[in-house]
Amino acid sequence: MITLKNVTKVYDSQHAVIDVSFQVEAGELCTLIGPSGCGKSTLLRMLNRMIPTSEGEIAINNQKITDQDEVQLRRHIGYVIQNVGLFPHYTVEQNLAIVPKLLKKERSWIQQRSQEMMNLVHLPQSYLKKYPHELSGGQAQRVGVARALIADPPVLLMDEPFSAVDPQTRWNLQEAFLEIQRELKKTVIFVTHDIEEALALGDSIAIMKEGKLIQKATPQTLLLQPETPFVTEFIGYSFGVNLLAKFQVQDYYQPIASSPQFEYVSIPLQANLKQALAQMIQWGVDTLTVIDTRRQPCGMITFHQLQAVLQQVGENG
Amino acid sequence: MRKKIIGLATLISLLVIFLWNYQGIEQVLQAWLPTGSSIFVQRTELWTLFREHVQLVSITVGIALSVGIAIAISEEFDSTRQVRPLLQQLGTIFQSFPTVAIIALIVPLLGYGNRAVIIGVAIYGILPVMQNTLTGFEQVDPAVIDAAKGMGMNRWQQIWSVKFPLALPIILAGLRTAVIISISAVTIGAAAGSGGLGLPIILGLRSQNLVLILQGTIPIALMALIADQAFRLWEWRLHQR
């Protein structure tokens, strides 16, 4: 759990971060977003004391970060940055071993963990012996994530980690990271400048502007209960449709018993609701037949259900 | 790679042959070249002069290396970063001083002898080492430093495990300059009373004995070439990784 209370950063009388308070629960992935220069990276770097706080208090798991030695603090927080920052003179294996060695872990422990990490980020074991310059941008960032996770820190700070790669690679990295996050349930603060990435990854989204926190809430709340017009403007008109992509057909469809008649247009059970919407618009229908893996109809989903999903603020937000 | 090693080996064997067989070489040279007026001088053996020269160079380079790197590292602990441009400028200005001038300035302070020469030449060698170390540290990718710090490396660990190894090729280039400067400057040092291969050169100049001059200049030139080649080979090996 990360708690920020009235956090402020002043540089030579310029306010970079102004009176920011919010909380990220254990296991929550919070994306931090805002226009460039809004102070989001500054705020992130204050969490592991890379930048000292001017005013206010930050606590991780109810421990004030200023009560701990800053070097020790950082060893227990995973840190992933945009340019990866792999040590070019170290192999992947040596890069992975940096934090465990600082924590005085045993060699055999490090070796075993390194192998587990390679599996986790879907890289072959043979890559342990490679040097960073032999890796593609996406592979390097996978190693970056593995390096941050190897010592199993409860908290992960990520500063635009996937923004330096091409869109396809970024999408793959996001998918892979979500899968890892579902398994490990870290408390994550993830800075991004891409609202689609913020939405795709975040359990909650914190929007900043000119050093201030405008709103921190679930995507549904941002959509239906924006605190200022800026929020609506910032998230954009397609936010709601993109939000549908986070929900799966299998969680919302009506099973076959209650829907005797079938439409001709179908959607697989594993699809998401955004894809279902696209199908409806494309074919001009408001009901789709849901088919299972054997391509047998097993239920249906309607346009009204999709609408209802976006209205469920009371329950989820 | 192969060519470079062969070149280096050739230079080294030439030097060894010259040092071991000097008697023979001298006889050949004397037959061809003017030996000038034959004033009697106490002749130290060439091998001893060579050893003295190498010792002087090692000591001065040792001092230059440790002081140069120490200054650059202490600059890493200066959070204001205001001393750095000053050091860089100082280095550039100082290097335009001729070596002779520095030794000439130090002799009145410390008197004739090895001490003055060692200190004068070491001061001169500090600058390229310091400048290159500073430049090398600066050229390390900021993302790598950021990651190192963010993972919980303290300042010494950042310098020792990250900055230093990554700056090493550039530091080596500075060290190479320092060694070559030192080899030639120690020669001039003979005029200020130190030993080394400068001695036969000065004696040869005084007595217009070309053979005596060559006795000093040939091994010095070979040493400088060997040092240059050896360092370049080392730098090149580092770049390969």
User: Between chains, do A48 and B150 touch, taking CB under 8 Å as contact?
Assistant: yes
Mapped onto helix, strand or coil, the DSSP state of residue A255 is: strand
Burial A73-102, CB ≥16 within 10 A → b, else e? bbbbbbbbbbbbbbbbbbbbbbbbbbbbeb
**Is the per-residue pLDDT at A263 higher than 90?**
no
Between B107 and A96, the more confident residue is A96
**Is the per-residue pLDDT at A259 higher than 90?**
no
pLDDT band at A313 (very low <50, low <70, confident <90, very high): low
Nearest residue to B132 via CA among B178, B173, B80? B173
- The DSSP symbol for A248 reads B
What's residue B43's pLDDT?
A: 64
User: Between chains, do B150 and A86 touch, taking CB under 8 Å as contact?
Assistant: no
**Is the per-residue pLDDT at A66 higher than 90?**
yes
Q: CA of A184: how far to CAs of A153, A177, A252, B182, in Å?
A: 10, 10, 26, 59
**Is the per-residue pLDDT at A230 higher than 50?**
yes
**Does the interface predicted TM-score (ipTM) exceed 0.85?**
yes
Mean pLDDT of the B166-195 span: 90
Give percent of chain A with pLDDT exceeding 90: 80
**Is the per-residue pLDDT at B79 higher than 80?**
no
Q: Enumerate residues 6+ apart whose C-beta is below 8 A from B142.
A: none
Q: Which residue of A has its CA nearest to B155?
A: A71
Give the range of the structural domain holding residue B147, as residue numbers without chain letter. Answer: 2-240
Q: What residues are paired with A29 via a beta bridge?
A: A188
Alpha carbon of A76: minimum distance to chain B alpha carbons (Å): 8
User: Between chains, do B157 and A102 touch, taking CB under 8 Å as contact?
Assistant: yes
Q: What is the pLDDT of residues B23-42, one digit of tens each?
A: 788 777 777 776 655 444 55
What's residue B91's pLDDT?
A: 76
Mean pLDDT of the A215-236 span: 93
Q: Enumerate residues 6+ apart whose C-beta is below 8 A from B131.
A: B87, B88, B91, B92, B174
pTM to 2 decimal places: 0.85
Q: Enumerate residues 6+ apart whose C-beta is below 8 A from A309.
A: A244, A247, A252, A273
What's residue B40's pLDDT?
A: 47
Q: Enumerate residues 6+ apart whose C-beta is below 8 A from A77.
A: A47, A48, A60, A153, A155, A156, A157
Q: Which residue of A has its CA nearest to B145?
A: A85
Q: What is the pLDDT of residues B55-70, one digit of tens each?
A: 999 999 999 999 999 9
Alpha carbon of B142: minimum distance to chain A alpha carbons (Å): 8
Mutate one of A41, A46, A79, A129 to test the B interface: name it (highest B CB count within 10 A): A79
pLDDT band at B93 (very low <50, low <70, confident <90, very high): confident
The total number of structural domains in chain B stands at 1
Give percent of chain B with pLDDT exceeding 70: 95
What's residue A316's pLDDT?
A: 47
Interface of B with A (CB under 8 A): 141, 143-154, 157, 161-162, 165-166, 241
Contacts of B145 in chain A (CB under 8 A): 85
The answer to whether A102 faces chain B, any CB pair under 8 Å, is yes
CB A121 within 8 A of CB A176: yes
Between A71, A85, A99, which is nearest B146 by CB? A85
Q: Which residue of A has its CA nearest to B146?
A: A85
Alpha carbon of A80: minimum distance to chain B alpha carbons (Å): 8
- The DSSP symbol for A272 reads B
Whole-number Å distance between alpha carbons of A147 and A77: 11
Nearest residue to A201 via CA among A252, A168, A162, A241? A162
**Is the per-residue pLDDT at A238 higher than 80?**
yes
User: Between chains, do A71 and B154 touch, taking CB under 8 Å as contact?
Assistant: yes
CATH number reported for the structural domain that contains residue B90 in this entry: 1.10.3720.10
